[in-house]
Amino acid sequence: MNPYQDKVAVITGAGSGIGRELAQLLAQRGARLALSDVDEQGLAETRRRCGDAATIRTYRLDVSQRAGVFAHADDVKRDFGGAHFIFNNAGVSLAATFEHMTIEELEWLLGINLWGVVYGTKAFLPMMLAQREGRIVNISSIFGFVGVPAQSAYNISKFAVRGLNECLWAELEGTGVQVTSVHPGGIRTNIDKAAPLGKFAGDYEKGVLETVSRMLVTPPEQCAREIVDGVARGHRRIVTGKSAGLTDLVARLSPKHYGKVLAWMGLRGPYAHLGSGR
C-alpha cells in the first residue's frame, strides 16, 4: 500500500538537504505537497526537481516565528483542505561550547530547531485530530541520544524534540494521529555550513566542526528514503545514517560512559587535557 497517494504532506526546510529529498520522494509517491523554507531560491529549485506531475504549493516560512507558522497552517488548510503528514524538518547548527556561546545564539538556534518543531506540531495537530488521521514526523538527531562537546545548543534542541515525540506517543494514543521521531546521523547536507561557528568560537570549536564534518557521509537521499519508508510502515522511531544505530545502542547500554567513545572519535572536551582535578 502507498499511504501517500493523494494525501497532503507539509515539509518545512524543503529548500535543500533532507527536506528537498523528502519532497522529491513524496512527489513520486503521489502526495500533494506544501513546501516551505526561508530560502525561496532553494525552494524554487526543489519544486522544479519534483516535476510537473505533482501538486505543489510553496511558501516562504521562518519556522521560528509563531504567528507565521500558525498562519501557514491556515494557508495549507485553505489551499489543500487539510494535512495528513507534517515533516518538521527545518534546522540549523552551531559550533560553540556552552561557555563561549552567547544567549542570542542559543535563542536563535532553539527558535528554529525546537520552537519551529513545537509550533509546527501545535499548528497542524488540531486539523489532524479533527479528521482522526495524521502523522507528525519530527526530526531530532543522534545528537538527541548523546551529548557532544561544542554542540550544546544543538543537543538541547534535539533532546527536547525527542522528549516531545515520546510524550506524544502516549498522549495521542487512540486519536488516529501518530508521531514518528527521526534520528539522522552523519547525513551529508549543508547544515554544518548554515552557521558553523559561534561568535566567540576558537580553534577548539573549529577542530570539532572539522571532525563532525568528516562524519557527514550518508547521502541525504538515502536518509529521506529511509524516513519515507519507515513512516509508511508506521515506525515510531527511525534511526538513519552512518553509525547512527551504533550510537543509539552505545548511549542506551552505557549512558554514563559513551563520552569515552566520543573521545576516541576525536570529540574530547576543551579542558580534557587538564585532567579531572581529583
Q: Which segments of 62-114 does DSSP mark as H helices, in order?
A: 66-80, 103-113
CA atoms within 13 A on the CB side of 147: 12
> Distance between CA atoms of 26 and 243, rounded to whole angstroms?
26
Q: Which residues contact 191 (CB under 8 A, 6 or more apart)?
A: 17, 91, 92, 93
Which of these is catalytic: 4, 59, 154, 258? Answer: 154
**CB burial of residue 14 (10 Å; 0-12, 13-18, 19+):** buried
Active site residue 154: yes
Query: Residue for cell digits 541525504?
Result: 220
31's grid cell: 502526495
DSSP string spanning 167-190?
A: HHHHHTTTSSEEEEEEEE-SB-SS
Which sequence positions are flagged as catalytic?
154
